[in-house]
């Protein structure tokens, strides 16, 4: 009867019954979280495997065995238990607040320096409670000693502390976030990390480590703010004899076809004097700057030569008489069934042009001015399906031709772009019509090819698979 009325008896029975019940409950919870791929499964495992057994042991030692709280064994077990609770809180806070944060939320954009500060604060509070309640340390005196020590350490490490303070003030203002693009006097790139001492900027040639104190003391440009407003301006030089309107139209047309161009925006090219032109292009992101520049400069090299403009005052003599004669003999003559006399009659109206990789050869909705015969390279025909996606129609190899709708005065139903550098021979509509009218069989063949291509475009428009 005395045993039943003893307080230690109820503690022992409670631990003996409650411990296995809690183990079963936490095991089931852990399995459920694992099946859901939850980030909290690790914390539940820590609670089941370490905190629950150690807490049960402490209850038995202190309440059932009635060992005094000041006993070294109890203090050691309590200290370990406190550390485990601290670890559980840190990992749980990280898993619930930051690791599960959506990509566009403030929690995901929060710099790591603030996460480190929160962890240090939580660790400091936990250690203070452990020292005060378990070991009986006078925390007030400890804080006084730490305050004096921190002053001495601050004087010794004033440069490093200055960088930390500068970084804190700058980050409180939040002039940039992770993944923003900035332009400083020493680096230009994307921010990948912000810590206590420095900002890590990923450039094209590596990661630039810039101290916080340097960024806080000098101006810099955040290229990502406001979002969607980044634009690049490129200068080009043409001959003074080139008509400015034609040059601006060519530059604008090339810029409008760039894949990096921000949807809904329109490039603008203007002459700035002395044969120079400036083209402004709005991009989706500063990350597209390099690709947009290189593609634009590559495309206008080809485009300026096709339109007989003189980029960098250079002349183009690629369409020589020998190349034209060879192309007419080997590519055009088999297609149009030309004799030697017909080939010679076309010398004055034919010319050889070149296109850069990914450059548009023909636009959908455009009425071609003539036919284009491929001498080298490949061209892909594409159309837009019912869902707005680009569908491939076919790929044309060397020896094939484009611009059949020039004969019917109809706009193209498909676009054509070069898969690599393409060399082609162009013939005016008038000369091709004269040749076709004398060859009824050739006209019939062209009609079949045109109908086949248009049929494939209609299939793609309905979302059907084009064979």
Going from N- to C-terminal start, the domains of the chain cover 2-158, 163-222, 231-306, 321-461
Distance separating alpha carbons of residues 339 and 24, to the nearest angstrom: 93
Res 257: pLDDT: 93
Query: Is domain 231-306 in CATH 3.30.70, yes or no?
Result: yes
Report CA-CA distances (Å) from 321 to 89, 282, 306, 312: 81, 41, 16, 25
**Phi, psi angles (nearest 5°) of residue 385:** -85, -175
Give per-residue pLDDT as tens, 210-238.
887 788 778 888 888 877 678 899 999 99
pLDDT at 259: 92
424: which strand partners?
353, 374
- The pLDDT, as a whole number, for residue 308 is 93
Does the fold of domain 321-461 match that of domain 163-222?
A: no
Both tokens of 428, joined, read 């005016």
Asked if 265 contacts 280 with a C-beta cutoff of 8 angstroms, the reply is: no
**Angstrom distance (rounded) from CA 71 to CA 48:** 26
Q: How far apart are CA 389 and CA 327, in angstroms?
A: 36
In this structure, how many other beta carbons lie within 10 angstroms of the beta carbon of residue 452?
11
Tokens 């005196």 belong to residue: 141
CATH number (3.40.50.1360, 1.20.1290.10, 2.30.30.60, 3.40.50.300) of 163-222 reads 2.30.30.60
**Does residue 409 come out as left (phi exceeding 0), alpha (psi in the -120 to 50 range) or beta?**
left
In tens, the pLDDT along 279-306 reads: 999 998 888 888 999 999 999 999 999 9
Question: What is the rounded CA–CA span in Å between residue 6 and residue 189?
Answer: 71
The pLDDT score that the predictor gives to residue 467 is: 47
Neighbours of 345 (CB within 10 A): 16
C-alpha–C-alpha distance, residues 127 and 132, integer Å: 8
Query: Considering the entire predicted model, what is its pTM?
Result: 0.65
Integer Cα distance of 79 and 126 in angstroms = 10
Is 58 in contact with 78 (CB distance < 8 Å)? yes
Distance between CA atoms of 129 and 134, rounded to whole angstroms? 8
Task: Give residue 304's pLDDT.
Answer: 96
Cα–Cα distance between 305 and 311 in angstroms, integer?
A: 8
Q: What angle do CA 443, 448, 451 make, to 5 degrees?
A: 120
Which H, E and C letters describe 65-98, residue by residue?
CCCCCCCHHHHHHHHHHHHHHHHHHHHHHHHHHH
Q: What is the distance between the alpha carbons of residues 443 and 435, in angstroms, rounded to a whole number?
A: 9
Q: How far apart are CA 80 and CA 82, in angstroms?
A: 5
pLDDT for 151 equals 58
Distance, in Å, from the CA atom of 375 to the CA atom of 273, rounded to the nearest integer, reads: 38
Question: Rounded to whole angstroms, how far apart are CA atoms 373 and 334?
Answer: 11
Below-50 pLDDT ranges, the chain:
1, 466-467
Query: b/e for 423-440, b at 16 or more Cβ within 10 A?
Result: bbbbbbbebbeebbeeee
Please give the full DSSP string across 398-458, using - where no structure is assigned: TT-EE-THHHHT---SSEEEESS-EEEEEEEHHHHHHHHHT-HHHHHHHHHHHHHHHHHHH
May I ask the CATH architecture of the domain 321-461? Sandwich (2.60)
pLDDT at 252: 96
Instruction: Report the alpha-carbon distance of residue 277 to residue 269 in Å, rounded.
Output: 7
**Which residue, among 315, 305, 288, 320, has the nearest Cα to 421 in the 3D structure?**
305
pLDDT reported for residue 359: 95
């Amino acid at each position: 009867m005395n045993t039943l009325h003893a307080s230690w008896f109820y503690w022992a029975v409670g631990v003996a019954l409650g411990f296995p019940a809690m183990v079963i409950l936490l095991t089931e919870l852990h399995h459920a979280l694992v099946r859901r791929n939850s980030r909290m499964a690790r914390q539940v495992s820590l609670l089941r495997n370490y905190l629950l057994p150690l807490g049960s042991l402490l209850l038995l030692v202190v309440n059932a065995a009635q060992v005094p709280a000041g006993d070294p064994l109890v203090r050691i077990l309590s200290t370990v238990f406190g550390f485990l609770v601290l670890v559980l809180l840190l990992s749980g806070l990280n898993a619930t607040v930051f690791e599960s944060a959506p990509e566009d939320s403030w929690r995901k954009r929060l710099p790591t320096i603030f996460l480190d500060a929160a962890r240090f604060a939580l660790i400091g509070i936990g250690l203070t409670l452990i020292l005060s309640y378990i070991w009986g340390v006078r925390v007030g005196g400890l804080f006084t000693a730490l305050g004096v020590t921190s002053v001495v350490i601050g004087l010794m490490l004033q440069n490093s502390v200055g960088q930390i303070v500068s970084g804190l003030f700058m980050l409180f203002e939040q002039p940039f976030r992770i993944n923003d693009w900035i332009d400083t006097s020493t680096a230009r790139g994307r921010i990948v990390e912000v810590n206590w001492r420095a900002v890590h900027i990923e450039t094209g040639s590596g990661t630039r480590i810039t101290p916080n104190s340097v960024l806080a003391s000098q101006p810099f440009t955040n290229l990502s703010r406001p979002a969607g407003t980044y634009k690049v301006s490129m200068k080009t030089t043409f001959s003074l004899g080139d008509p400015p309107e034609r040059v601006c139209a060519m530059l604008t047309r090339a810029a409008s076809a760039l894949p990096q161009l921000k949807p809904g925006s329109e490039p603008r090219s203007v002459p700035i004097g002395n044969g120079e032109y400036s083209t402004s292009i709005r991009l989706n992101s500063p990350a597209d700057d390099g690709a947009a520049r290189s593609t634009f400069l590559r495309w206008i090299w080809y485009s300026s030569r096709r339109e007989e403009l003189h980029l960098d005052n250079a002349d183009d003599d690629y369409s020589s008489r020998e190349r034209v004669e060879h192309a007419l003999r080997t590519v055009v003559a088999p297609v149009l069934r030309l004799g030697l006399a017909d080939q010679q009659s076309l010398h004055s109206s034919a010319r050889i042009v070149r296109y850069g990789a990914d450059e548009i050869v023909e636009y959908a909705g455009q009425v071609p001015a003539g036919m284009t015969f491929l001498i080298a390279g490949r061209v892909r025909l594409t159309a837009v399906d019912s869902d707005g996606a680009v569908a491939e129609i076919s790929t044309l190899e060397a020896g094939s031709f484009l611009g059949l709708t020039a004969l019917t005065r109809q706009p193209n139903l498909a676009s054509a772009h070069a898969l690599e550098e393409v060399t082609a021979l162009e013939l005016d509509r008038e000369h091709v019509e004269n040749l076709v009218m004398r060859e009824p069989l050739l006209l019939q063949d062209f009609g079949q090819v045109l109908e086949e291509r248009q049929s494939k475009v209609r299939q793609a428009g309905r979302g059907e698979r084009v064979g």
